[in-house]
Amino acid sequence: MRKGKLIVFEGNDGSGKTTQLFKVEKYLKEKGYKVLTTREPGGTEVGYRIRKLLLDPQYKMDGLTEALLLAADRNEHVKNVLIPAMDEGYIVLCDRYILSSVVYQGIVRGVGIENILKLNSIFEDRIKPDLYIVLTLDPEIALQRIKMAGKNDRLDLEDLEFHRRVYSGFKEVSKWFERCVNIEVQGSEKEVFEKVCCEIERLFESREK
């Protein structure tokens, strides 16, 4: 059993998951925990190059191609970042993991949930997140946030229907995926943060019993 924990932040683009991840990082460090923040894709040097390719708007690619590239990124990430950090007792906060592949490629791109789970089963066998925090925000509001931020990567430029399917996909899979909590983003950033911290504290309390 690894000494550390893996907490994954998931959700539709524009939901504020990355902002909440960094707020949690500060919160846990102030409590004295060793914390490592990372992301998928792009948490390693190889992964960074894969991320650039995946998000480049000049390239169109099939959903299975996306899934295979993400699996390659994940292999490097799990082997070189996640497992070593957890073995050293770090609380690892990861921006996206397998759940994103299930939603984006499995559901929205039509590759199939079972195919994505089969492709990623090797990673689930090696390391399992202790908690998935899934932040979801009304896709129309989320898309407005994306546009205001001036983001223009390949996924951000998808139409509203795409973002609606991503949103509903996360809502659905969070009901049956293990160790998964869905928080609908309502109210202020502080109010959302309090809900996130409540789930993390509940995780720590359950592991201490």
14 annotated to a ligand binding site: yes
Task: From 182, 206, 176, 177, select the one nearest 196 (Cα to Cα).
Answer: 182
169 annotated to a ligand binding site: no
11 annotated to a ligand binding site: yes
12 annotated to a ligand binding site: yes
23 annotated to a ligand binding site: no
18 annotated to a ligand binding site: yes
Rg (CA), the chain: 16
Q: Maximum CA pair distance of the chain?
A: 51
CB 29 within 8 A of CB 116: no
101 annotated to a ligand binding site: no
Residue 77 to residue 79: CA distance in whole angstroms: 6
- CB count, 10 Å around CB of 153? 15
16 annotated to a ligand binding site: yes
CB 139 within 8 A of CB 15: no
The annotated binding site for ATP is made up of 11-18
The annotated binding site is made up of 11-18
